[in-house]
Structure 1
Amino acid sequence: MYWKVIIALLLAFLAWVYKAVRPPPPRPHGVSGPRIKLRDGRFLSYKEYGVPKESAKYKIILVHGFGSCKHEDAFSQSELVEKLGVHMVSFDRPGYGESDPDPKRTLKSVALDIAELGDELGFGPKFYVVGCSMGGQLVWGCLKYIPHRLAGAALLAPVINCWWPSFPPKLSAAAFRQQFPEDQWASRVARYAPWLVYWWNTQKWFPPNSVIAGRANFSAPDLEILSKRDLSSIDMEYPTQQGVYESLHRDMIVGFGRWDFDPMEIEDPFHGEKGSVHLWQGDQDGLVPVALQRYIAKKLPWINYHEMPNTGHMFLALESAQDAVLHALFAS
């Protein structure tokens, strides 16, 4: 008799565990803007900014960050967009906003999405790519998988995977310990048990990733910028309208999981020819360790490293920073 009760309880527990760890299916999303159809039938939603494409001298594809979307115009304050003749397109990354999710999303698949977007919009054989934060991390995938399509690239405070093999163990371990304990655990789960990411960041027993929970480790310069922003005008639900798993959680799995390459082994995509790669970092960034960015810059001498003094993770909100990025990107 007792063994039947035990088995029943065990089955009930296993059913509860399965339901708790299994992410829900993506919620239906609306369509309010232009989209392209990709190679596998998915649709990618995008938005264009800057001067008209037909008269543009430079064409940029913007890659948004964690929890953001195509509506974030990274260079909205810079007058150089008009002066230099820059046409930009930002897109909802797979699973964000109005772009279909990609259950097989990798750094390579996103890079191929970007190449297809450039083709569909008639950007020509080469274009510029600029990524912010987690979007900056994805630019590494472009440098690896579609370097022949790039006229130039900028990585703005790109998120770092502390498990990249080229990092000295002591350096990466020290940088990892600088993160909040909950972020250390969330990153470990994303790397070693990705099937638990949804449960870990939605359960109530342990603190989830701090950015998802809305208590990110922003530095004083970042808090000053945030205090001046009108958040009421920002649709905070649009990026995750399909659910947090296909957007935020899959970002963590891709970003902190096992990569097919080590960014510090990438070769110069331009080999001394026209074109350049720039990496920008605030020296008071509380989310991305500056020590690791400095190490990357030393390992890859072909990268133009720019460290912004007295700035944090959100330095691109400053008009002076936007101007500096555009000047550097098009200087060649």
Structure 2
Amino acid sequence: MTTVVRTLDGRRLAVEEWGSPSGSPVFLLHGTPGSRLGPRPRAAVLYRLGVRLITFDRPGYGGSDPSPGRRVRDVIDDVLAIADALGLETFGVVGRSGGGPHALACAALLPERTSKAAVLVGLAPRTAEGLDWFDGMAESNVVEYSAASAGYDVLAERLGAAAARIRANPAQLVAGLFHELPEADRRVVADDGIRRMLWRNFAEGLRHSADGWVDDAMAFIGPWGFDPEVIEVPTLLWHGEDDVFSPAAHCRWLGERIPGSIVTVERGAAHFGALSVLPDVLRWLVTSAAAPGPC
């Protein structure tokens, strides 16, 4: 059941909880575009892991009010509002894809509340020194982030039209990307259950507008509001070596700068491989279990 949490500035956040109510709390921050209904382990898996999984729509997605001009760092205000409303002192955080930079914001700026952080197929800052940010990136993402660099109005026009097409047919986003998917990702999205979960995710996230999608992209290419090098909480970075949406070089760049981070780049996996590794990552977040090892 969806819960509405109010932020200090009066915005509404749509929040969902999954798994064991008495389990260890973990925030799962969704991808871009996405929603609180995004891919997650089955309830039985979450109960077995002892995880209370918390998801929410970032501003402008699904049932959450927009927050124009938000930066990556601003996610901490929303996470704190939800954690306080739920009575959570500490929690783990995992971000997948576009949720990755936001998970790093929690690790950097909420060290007293964030027990551990994990990033699955995330992005590095656009200004990452020594990183060819677009190298190995699929054309659809290059076009999207290039439009963001051209300005908010250019990006909003492009993504607004795309969101309208997806609202009319939620399966379109996955189908439209299929020709760009490496073989590893095609195997994942061939599963009917995963494909339907992705459709529900996109339909919910974009049901009103493209505001969340636009604001995410603008936040990624702008100043994040923190330096990953200040992160001190235990941090895991996982990436599929064949990822074309957020290339593995982004993960390696972050791993070289986040002190003590655990870096796993898995051969034969790509962007949607993060769905398969998520249960192992959740186990690492809530126990002393070893992190998924590099291949």
Q: Decide: shared fold, TM above 0.5.
A: yes
Match of 1:239 in 2: 205
Match of 1:287 in 2: 245
Letter in 1 for 2:248: V
Question: Which residue of 58, 62, 76 maps to 1:93?
Answer: 58
Correspondences of 1:17-56 after superposition (within 5 Å): 33-52=2-21, 55-56=22-23
CA offsets 1:122-172 (integer angstroms, 9 cap, x no match): 11x2111111110112112112222221011111111233322xx21xxx2
Question: Which residue of 155, 161, 178 maps to 1:197?
Answer: 155
Letter in 1 for 2:243: D
Q: TM-score normalized by structure 2?
A: 0.83
1:61 aligns with 2:27: yes
Residue pair 1:48, 1:89 contacting (<8 A) in 2 also: yes
Matched position secondary structure for 1:280: strand
Matched position secondary structure for 1:307: strand
Question: Which residue of 308, 312, 327 maps to 2:266?
Answer: 308
- Alignment partners' CA distance in 1, 2:74 and 2:51: 26
Match of 1:225 in 2: 188
Residue pair 2:72, 2:101 contacting (<8 A) in 1 also: no
- Alignment partners' CA distance in 1, 2:245 and 2:160: 21
- Alignment partners' CA distance in 1, 2:157 and 2:38: 29
Residue pair 2:35, 2:62 contacting (<8 A) in 1 also: yes
CA offsets 1:221-248 (integer angstroms, 9 cap, x no match): 111111113445643422111211x121
Matched position secondary structure for 1:140: helix
Question: Which residue of 153, 160, 181 maps to 2:124?
Answer: 160
Matched position secondary structure for 1:102: coil
CA offsets 1:73-121 (integer angstroms, 9 cap, x no match): 5222773x22332111111111111111111422222111001101101
Matched position secondary structure for 1:197: helix
Q: TM-score normalized by structure 1?
A: 0.75
How far did 1:254 drift? Answer: 0.8
Q: Identity over the aligned pairs, expressed in percent? A: 25
Equivalent residue pairs, number: 275
CA offsets 1:285-310 (integer angstroms, 9 cap, x no match): 11111123123212324111122221
Over the aligned positions, Cα root-mean-square deviation in angstroms equals 2.6
Structure 1 stretch displaced more, 151-160 or 233-242: 233-242
- Alignment partners' CA distance in 2, 1:296 and 1:223: 27
- Bigger-Rg structure (1/2): 1
- Alignment partners' CA distance in 2, 1:48 and 1:316: 20
Residues 257 and 188 of structure 1, relative CA distance in 2, 3 Å threshold: farther
- Alignment partners' CA distance in 2, 1:83 and 1:203: 42
1:150 aligns with 2:111: no
Matched position secondary structure for 2:61: coil
1:327 aligns with 2:290: no
Report which structure shows greater RCO (CA 8 Å, sep ≥6). Answer: 2
How far did 1:203 drift? Answer: 7.1
Residue pair 1:126, 1:151 contacting (<8 A) in 2 also: yes
Q: Which ranges of structure 2 fall in alignment gaps of 5 or more residues?
A: 163-172, 289-295
1:130 aligns with 2:94: yes
How far did 1:185 drift? Answer: 4.1
